[in-house]
Amino acid sequence: MTANYNAKLRSLRDGSLEPQDFSHLDHIGVAYEAIAHHDFFEALCIIADGLRDLACRANAPRKFNATVTFAFMSLIAERMKADDHENPAAFIRHNADLTTKSVLAPWYSDERLSSEFARSVPLLPDNLGSKG
């Protein structure tokens, strides 16, 4: 069964989404829908606000990471602009590398991504030019 990412986006926005009902694939699908229907920065705010609220309601506010959120939203938006996909499920199938945090490794060290600073401020990459 295919997830209804539009419905999950609405639930994320209105605060009715339950943390246990939101997988990493859902993060990608919901981000896709937000970007597809909103300007990038509006979509980023919607997702960031929703994820922060979701983490707080799960009694895990430290799970929210501004750097990871910004980086994933940027990657998803870039890939959406580079290639057409008929829906979020097709996008996820064609971008399977987004299903792991290791997709950020060419740009970010683990130390930078897991820092307290990264949780509150979208940090710029620290691995530019070191991989290649």
State the DSSP code for 66. Answer: H
Torsion of CA 21, 4, 8, 96, to 10 degrees: 70
pLDDT in tens, 30-48: 999 999 999 999 999 999 9
Say what the pLDDT of residue 101 is: 74
In angstroms, rounded to a whole number, what is the distance separating the alpha carbons of residues 37 and 57? 26
Residue 62 in tokens: 């430290």
CA dist list (Å): 90 to 2, 77, 84: 11, 15, 10
pLDDT band at 131 (very low <50, low <70, confident <90, very high): very low
With contact defined as beta carbons under 8 Å apart, do 46 and 38 qualify?
yes
In angstroms, rounded to a whole number, what is the distance separating the alpha carbons of residues 57 and 6? 21
pTM: 0.91
Start-to-end CA distance of the chain, whole Å, equals 38
User: Does the structure show a pLDDT above 60 at 93?
Assistant: yes
The domain spans of the chain are 5-120
